[in-house]
Structure 1
Amino acid sequence: MSIPAVSSVSPAELEARLRLHRLPELGPARFRKLLEAFGSASKAISAPASAWRALGLPQVCGEARRAPEIRDGASHALAWIERQDQHLLMWDQPDYPALLAQISDAPPLLFVAGDPQILEKPQLAMVGSRRASRPGMDIAAAFSRSLAGAGFVITSGLALGIDAAAHQAALDVGGRTVGVLGTGLENFYPQRNRRLADAMIASGSAVLSEFPLDAAPSASNFPRRNRIISGLSLGVLVVEASVASGSLITARLAAEQGREVYAIPGSIHHPGARGCHQLIRDGAVLVETIEHILEALRGWQQLPFSTETLATVTSHPLLVLLHAAPHTSEALADASGWTLPKVLATLTELEMDGRAVCENGRWFARVS
């Protein structure tokens, strides 16, 4: 028996789903098992304990379902989704992200702050080290700017380091970005990125979590949320990561989900490059410029850019360099072999056309 697809649920069914969602040791597979067995969360909640035991569910699940704290948590969530820009998406509803719904362990419920409609737009995930090097942060920002400018939503985990750089860079060019938390939306972690998350929500982007609103940081939650980052996305770009990084977990999940995996190489002497090199050895696409990503995805039916955009991105020699990493004018002259006056004149033209921007003495590519 499968879960029936419905366009809406009753208030009682919604409250019952929120109660099930808070039960200990009840993940997506067991949540689905209950709905398949009883036909609805309402019937599951009211079923006798023997029926729950017959399904092989942990005893703690059945015992907790009528606890006051479970009811109170569901009531609080009902009040939360009544507020502006706060939403609940359910896996049998038409507004649930289509790509995410394809994975085997899709979250039954998603709490979303911001605009949930951007979850249906083409997304690319960018992940990497929390202790990223400055060059790694610069590369993440440059790629995020270019990809967001090309029409992609940039998805990441709102962690320190590469994640934060990718989110912020997308906002800097007026793009959209999605942050997936490993905690509840009312128990934000890390707090240092709270202001960034607020800016994302205010600008029409989104922050989401599969966990109850008050869920605290837990080591097991962060690998679990990584499947959502990859599941929402057409592909995952790993910018800088050690071999033991959570970013490699995201990349592995992406490959298992049939998503593209990209990795940016680095120095053989830099520990933060070893994870990317391992991914490349395992079959990830080696990425040096945005062209490598756009080419790999050009066959996707929902691509937000045309072949003309691709040609624009890849045909201008200075833009090719800027898509790989931000440069000073002098560095562009060295890398391109052009004279500095020619570089400066060309950069002025690109800036006037909205295709490049200068910040703090360094130039960044921007695709409109």
Structure 2
Amino acid sequence: MTEKEYLTALSTFTMFGPARTKLLLKYFQSAKKIWNLSLSDLREIGIKQETGEKFIKHRDSFNIQDYLSRLERLSIKVVTIFDEDYPENLKDLSDAPHVLYILGKFKNTDTNAIAIVGSRMMTSYGREVAKKFAGELASFGVTIVSGLALGIDAEAQRAALSVGGRTIAVLASGLDIISPLTNKNLALEFIKNNGALISEQPLGHQPFPSDFAVRNRLISGLSKAVIVVEGRMKSGTFYTVNAAAEQGRTVFAVPGPITSPTSEAPNYLIQNGSKLVTSSKDILDELHLQFKVDKEAVKKVMPSDATEAKFLEILEREPIHLDELVRISGGKTSEVSARLTIMEMKGMVRNMGKGVYKKV
């Protein structure tokens, strides 16, 4: 067995988390040595008797070749923290997983990633906001990261896929167990359409409630920033927010109605120093993300259509206010505004301020 295979084998014993694995590797300098430790060796370095016994039992019954064959059949790639293709944004985390399981693949551009998170019980407002931000950011080359959970997570990732963008889902389960099952079809879309699924959990791992909080640190860790769309005060959203703060990631929050329970979290975050955000351009400017995408590539991501052509025809005559464009086009204000933002990102129009747009 290679050192990478021993490290992969170690990852299947989930009682050795990132922190303990890091200490063991620092002490023994070899995954092979750790894998072959006796119970007395484990006890000498402070491992509890029960944990040590469980490890020995797991090791003696584990067949690495069968496990590797199963990974290959499922097209799941193993990447260790010592590999060149380990995600760049995770390398600086103190609790970075030593082994990642990936279905799909990472790209160099995934360093420019933003997480969009929020309530599973989203409102129509939350759905609209998630679609707006995810669609616009993905159209401009940003990778959208989330957890494939019901609600805001899934809505954001569908929006990214719908415009041909990239999205990464971080699971709390093994990659052979899609949770929730209702999002299995969405997970399949990821693989077919330029996305990736990632987990630090081994095959066959059914998620415990605590695994979701642990998973959330990877959602923020993979990202330059986190956008909180909706969430109650007592929700898992704060696990992601707290992890982002510890990792030095920027936290954005979308303001919501003060009468809506699902806006409690973002409104609280804004009150306590998170950055209020109302447009994708605000996010890109704040993070100083500059994506130089050639025109052909942009057209491939966001094909020109009759709506864009109509807007350009109207703007050909003279600069025009958003409200007037809504009246002439017959569209909804939110939809027209979102389309203008995308067209601005593509260099077609320019926002001259106070809601007035002109053709470039």
- Give the match for residue 282 of structure 1: 272
Deviations 1:208-231 (A, max 9, x none): 111111111210000000000000
Matched, 1:304 2:306: no
Q: What is the identity, as a one-letter code, of the residue corresponding to 1:279?
A: L
Would the alpha carbon gap of residues 73 and 364 (structure 1) be closer, same or farther in structure 2, given more than 3 Å must change? Answer: farther
- Does 1:72 find its partner at 2:71? no
CA contact (8 A) 2:111 2:222 kept: no
Greater Cα shift, 175-184 or 41-50: 41-50
Name the residue aligned to 2:160. Answer: 170
Equivalent residue for 2:324?
338
Alignment of 1:209 onto 2:221: no
Return the alpha-carbon distance in structure 1 between the equivalents of residues 231 and 270 of structure 2.
12
In the TM superposition, residue 343 of structure 1 has moved relative to its aligned partner by: 3.8
**Do 1:287 and 1:293's aligned partners in 2 also have CA atoms closer than 8 Å?**
yes
CA distance in 2, matches of 1:203, 1:264: 28
TM-score by length of 2: 0.81
Other-structure match for 1:40: 30
Residues 24-69 of structure 1: CA distance to partner in whole angstroms, max 9, x if unpaired?
5211011111111111111112233333222212323432334367
CA contact (8 A) 1:118 1:153 kept: no
Match of 1:128 among 111, 115, 118: 118
Distance 1:221 1:252 in 2: 16
Partner of 2:226, secondary structure, is strand
Q: Name structure 2 gaps, 5 residues minimum.
A: 296-306, 309-320, 347-360
Aligned counterparts of 1:281 and 1:181: Cα–Cα separation in 2: 31
TM-fit CA distance, 1:86: 1.9
TM-score (normalizing by structure 1): 0.79
Partner of 1:219: 209
1:13 matches 2:3: yes
C-alpha contact (below 8 Å) 1:22/1:73 kept by paired residues: no
Q: Secondary structure at the match of 1:195?
A: helix
Q: Secondary structure at the match of 1:337?
A: helix
* Partner residue, 1:198: 188
- Give yes or no for the alignment of 1:253 onto 2:239: no
Q: In 2, Cα distance between the equivalents of 1:340 and 1:263?
A: 27
* 1:261 Cα offset (Å): 0.3
Q: 1:285 corresponds to which letter in structure 2?
A: K
Name the counterpart of 1:329: none
Which consecutive residues of structure 1, in runs of 5 or more, have no partner in the other structure?
1-10, 309-317, 320-334, 357-362
Equivalent position of 2:311 in the other structure: none
Asked if the contact 1:142/1:365 (under 8 Å) is kept, the reply is no
Cα pair distance change 1:342/1:158, threshold 3 Å: same
Cα deviations by residue, 1:265-321 (Å, 9 ceiling, x for unpaired): 0111000101001111221110111122111111x5xx4258x9xxxxxxxxx99xx
Residues paired across the two proteins, number = 319
What is the Cα deviation at residue 235 of structure 1?
A: 0.2
Q: Which amino acid aligns with 1:114?
A: G
> Tell me, what secondary structure is at the counterpart of 2:257?
coil
Conserved 8 A contact 1:88-1:111: yes
Letter matched to residue 304 of structure 1: F
> How far 1:70 moved relative to its partner?
6.4
Higher alpha-carbon deviation: 261-270 or 280-289: 280-289
Which deviates more from structure 2 when the two are superposed, residues 43-52 or residues 62-71?
62-71
Answering whether residue 108 of structure 2 is matched by residue 108 of structure 1, we say no
**Could you tell me whether the CA contact under 8 Å between 2:38 and 2:56 is conserved in 1?**
no
SS in 1 for 2:324: coil
Q: Which moved more, 1:168-177 or 1:182-191?
A: 182-191
**Identical residues among aligned pairs (%):** 36
- In 2: Cα distance, 1:54 partner to 1:281 partner: 50
> 2:252 corresponds to which residue?
262
1:133-152 matched pairs, under 5 angstroms: 133-152=123-142
Report what 2:46 is aligned to. 56
Q: Residues 94-120 of structure 1: CA distance to partner in whole angstroms, max 9, x if unpaired?
A: 111111111110111110001133674
Distance 1:132 1:156, change over 3 A: same
TM-fit CA distance, 1:75: 3.7
Q: Which runs of 4+ in 1 moved over 4 A?
A: 68-71, 363-368
Cα distance in 1, alignment partners of residues 38 and 75 from structure 2 = 38
3-state SS, counterpart of residue 131 of structure 1: coil
| Partner SS state of residue 261, structure 1 | strand
Does the CA contact (< 8 Å) of 2:110 and 2:142 recur in 1? no
Secondary structure in 2 matching 1:18: helix
Root-mean-square deviation (Å): 2.9
What's the counterpart of residue 360 of structure 1? none
